[in-house]
Every structure is written in C-alpha cells, then in structure tokens.
Amino acid sequence: MNNSETIFAVSSGSGMAGIAVIRMSGGKAGGVLASVAGPLPLPRRASIRQLRHPQTQEVIDQGLVLWMPGPMTSTGEDVAEFHVHGSAAVIEAMFEVFRSISGVRLAEPGEFTRRAFVNNRMDLVEAEGLADLLQARTEAQRRMAMHHMLGHASSQYEDWRTEMISLLARLEAAIDFVEEDGVAVAALADIRPKILDLVTRLSRAAAEADRAGALRSGVKVVFAGAPNVGKSTLLNLVAAREAAIVSSRPGTTRDVIEVPVVLGGIPVILTDTAGLRAKAGDEVEVIGMQRAKSEAAAADIVVWVSSVDVAEDTENAVVPALKVLNKSDLPGDAHGADLRVSARTGEGIAELIAELERLVSARFSGMEQASVIRTRHRDAVEESIRFLNDSLLHDVGQIELAAECLRKACFSIGRVTGRVDVEDLLGKIFSEFCIGK
C-alpha cells in the first residue's frame, strides 16, 4: 500500500442507482478533476460540469463535481468527488480515464479510512465506528456505531489514559523525593486509592463488553423445551415467517435454526432448537439435543416453552428468562408459567412479543453508550488493569517499578485508539502541577 498514490473508488452503494459518487483522494486529485471537468471549482462548492475524456474530449457524462483541498478533508488529503449517473457504463468510462493516469489507482478496501487514520483525521475507534455504521441494520446498532464514530468512545479511552498519565506524573514527581522521608510515602498513599478506583471503573466497563458485543452482532434468544410443545410454531410467529418446519411428530426440529429479527430496535437472533427429552429416537436426535443444550448455554435469553399436552421428562438446560406455556386452547393447567399462549388461536402472542422486547431492551438498553465493545478493546482494557494492579505491589523503595507499570498501563489503553504517545501528554500534565513546594 503506497500512501503517495492517488486513489479512487465508488463511494455510493453498489448496483444500479440514479447517482454514483466516485471519490478520489491524494495529490493528483485536483489535476485529474481539472483534466476531466475543466478549471477547478471553488473549494467545497458543488458545480455541474460536463465530464470529458482528457484525450478525445468526448463527453462521458454530466454531473456534479466537488473539490476539497486537504488537509481539512475526510482523508486529510486533497479530495475530489464526481457525482455521475449510476450506470455501470458511466462508472467504467470514468474509471478507464482515471486508471490511465500514472500514480492514480483503484483504492483497496478501507484505504480511505486508513489514510484518515494515518493523517490524524480519525482514530482507530472512530474508524471501527464508521465500519459498524456502514453495517448497522437496526436503530440500536446505529446509535452504538455513532457513539464510536463521533469520538465519544474515544474520549472515554482518552479520559482513562489521561488519568493514568497524571497518576504517573505524580509518581515520577515523588521519585525525586524518595530521599526525603515522608513526601514520597505521602504521594504513594495518595495515589493508591485513585488507582484502585480506576481499576474498579475499568473492570466494570470490561465486564460490559460481552453484552455490548451482543448488541453489535445480535442478541441471542433461544427457544428451548420438550419436543412437540410448539417451539418452532412460536418462533415462526415471532419472526413472522415460516422459518422452521412444524409438524405433529415429536423430534421434528433437529438442527439449530437462526432467524434474525429486530425487537424494539435491537437486533435479535431467534434460535430454534431440537426438543429435549430423556430418551432420544435416534442418533441424529441425540446430536440435536446436545446442540440445543449448548445453544441454550450460550444464549443471552432463554425462552423455555412448555405445553399443556406434553409431559417434560428432562431438567431445564439452563435457567430460563421466560417460561411460556403454549397450547392454552387445549385443556390443562398453567402452573409455573410466566405467560400462557396459544399459537393456534393467537392468544398471548402479542404479549409474548412485547415481553421479549421488554427483556431484550432491559438487558441491552444503555449498551449503545458502551465504549468497550470489541474483543480488541476488552483485551487492551484488561491488560491495562493488570498493569495497574501490578503497580500496587510496589512500595516506596521500588517507586520506579510502580511508575513503569503505570507507563505500561497507559500504553495498553492507548493502543485502543492508536494514540500511544505517553511522553507528550506527560510533559503537558507535568507542567501543570507542582509537588512538594
């Protein structure tokens, strides 16, 4: 990957569309724009131009062009945009012109964003937020992605890092006073509770990572229960489509069936499983039941389905979040269920959906504001917690070692956003306070 080359790509979606936006970034963007669209328009003003082949002067298309000289652009470089008609032929004709210019080439995936990072227009967390936003399917995912893309999550990481650096600055200052009894001891005593408090907050954020991650990829709601109770029928009703096969024969569902839906703005993966019973019909059912149990164990929410006409002869695989008694149209009693429904008559189905929405949002609301949402984030936060804890092991005789641990903790947390220059900030913070005078 060569950053000195000028890159281009279609930035709008793929497929036929009214307009396609071709974006170009790099030192040659202005020259290329002028060669196909005439004199450069005023920066950041849309102008309509005929776009001509630079050699033949044939008009390829007519469209809007934008000229955005760097560095205050999305990539930090000169950027040109060509809003052309969205057909394959127009795009190909434009591409042919661009490709024929030396030092200009098609962008690789993510290369615009990569340049934005290299040129300090965006940090790593913001870039991840942008990637998530491009894939967001639901309202909650959009909000979570915006929290990251707009830099709110980055500020959280920066706040944590700044706290660590100011603690480090205090420790370093105390090092100068190790000879003078009392001053260094007092500084250490002052710092310890602050480190512990920071560790508590970081641990809390790291512990949320699984739930936050579930919001990113979809909350797993597993329907489990004995065979023939109506799990697949209910799942189909909640999903509003015939995703799973239903039959009167116990042991119909054998494999795990996943159906993505949106409940209360939150992405949910409804999961149907094989019915659980003590004595399986055949080997395939045994495997299906094992899968059902591991799905239930990995679920965010388990819905245990029973039915008035089916006796249960196994223990629940896990503690369910919701117990549903199905086939309320048949005679029988409803003990132990949270909800009584009938897939046949529709009784209680609206309530079931409402209850699922409530459970999902109770568990996941607020997660849109979480900052530790990827394994990469959690690993870094946990590493930084380990270094903070290590720093507490050293007493006043080893104050340099404690400082070294704090330095490593800063570095670990800084890797999340990609900002790891401890010395710069240290100098700044150091200059702002004075100790022992």
DSSP 8-state class, residue 245: -
Compare residues 92 and 313 and give the one whose CB is closer to ligand GTP.
Answer: 313
Binding residues for ligand GTP, total number by CB under 6 A: 23
**How far from 34 is each of 42, 127, 131, 226, 401, CA to CA, in Å?**
12, 31, 32, 71, 60
Among 19-27, 105-113, 205-213, 323-331, which window interacts with ligand GTP (CB under 6 A)? 323-331
Among residues 55, 28, 53, the alpha carbon closest in space to that of 40 is found at 28
The minimum distance between CB 329 and Mg ion, in angstroms, equals 19
Handedness of CA 80, 84, 89, 93 (dihedral sign): negative
The minimum distance between CB 236 and ligand GTP, in angstroms, equals 8
Query: Which of Mg ion, ligand GTP, none binds 247 (CB below 5-8 Å, type-dependent)?
Result: ligand GTP
The minimum distance between CB 411 and Mg ion, in angstroms, equals 52
The minimum distance between CB 320 and ligand GTP, in angstroms, equals 14
Q: Rounded to 5 degrees, what are φ and ψ at 264? A: 55, 35
Compare residues 129 and 348 and give the one whose CB is closer to ligand GTP.
Answer: 348
| Choice from 342, 371, 391, 412 touching ligand GTP (CB under 6 A) | 342
Compare residues 331 and 336 and give the one whose CB is closer to ligand GTP.
Answer: 331
Q: Rounded to 5 degrees, what are φ and ψ at 351? A: -65, -40
Compare residues 31 and 250 and give the one whose CB is closer to ligand GTP.
Answer: 250
Query: Which of Mg ion, ligand GTP, none binds 251 (CB below 5-8 Å, type-dependent)?
Result: ligand GTP
* 24 in Cβ contact with 79 (< 8 Å): yes
Binding residues for Mg ion, total number by CB under 5 A: 4
Answer yes or no whether residue 275 interacts with ligand GTP by CB under 6 A: yes
Beta pairing class for 301-307 and 266-272: unpaired
Query: Can you tell me the distance from the alpha carbon of 42 to that of 423, in angstroms, rounded to the nearest whole number?
Result: 41
Site string for ligand GTP, 202-241 (x = CB under 6 A): -------------------------xxxxxxx--------
Answer yes or no whether residue 253 interacts with Mg ion by CB under 5 A: yes
Answer yes or no whether residue 73 interacts with ligand GTP by CB under 6 A: no
Q: Which residues of 261-276 are buried (b: 16+ CB within 10 A; e: fewer)?
A: bbbbbbbbbbbbbbbb
**How far from 437 is each of 166, 190, 427, CA to CA, in Å?**
18, 17, 19
The two tokens of residue 241 are 């489509």
| Choice from 92, 242, 329, 424 touching ligand GTP (CB under 6 A) | 329
H helices of 279-348, where?
283-298
The minimum distance between CB 324 and Mg ion, in angstroms, equals 14
Query: Which of ligand GTP, Mg ion, none binds 120 (CB below 5-8 Å, type-dependent)?
Result: none
Query: Which of ligand GTP, Mg ion, none binds 138 (CB below 5-8 Å, type-dependent)?
Result: none
| Sequence-separated contacts (24+) of 137-142 with Cβ below 8 Å | 137/262, 137/267, 138/262, 138/265, 138/266, 138/267, 139/265, 139/266, 140/215, 140/265, 140/266, 140/267, 140/364, 140/367, 140/368, 141/215, 141/216, 141/267
Instruction: Identify the helix (H) or strand (E) that includes residue 221.
Output: strand 219-225
The minimum distance between CB 372 and ligand GTP, in angstroms, equals 37
* 34 in Cβ contact with 14 (< 8 Å): no
| Choice from 196, 278, 330, 350 touching ligand GTP (CB under 6 A) | 330
Query: Can you tell me the distance from the alpha carbon of 33 to that of 55, in angstroms, rounded to the nearest whole number?
Result: 14
| Choice from 113, 156, 253, 384 touching ligand GTP (CB under 6 A) | 253
Compare residues 104 and 229 and give the one whose CB is closer to ligand GTP.
Answer: 229
Answer yes or no whether residue 232 interacts with Mg ion by CB under 5 A: yes
* Residues forming the site for ligand GTP (CB under 6 A): 227-233, 246-248, 250-253, 274-275, 326-327, 329-330, 342-344
* Residues forming the site for Mg ion (CB under 5 A): 231-232, 252-253
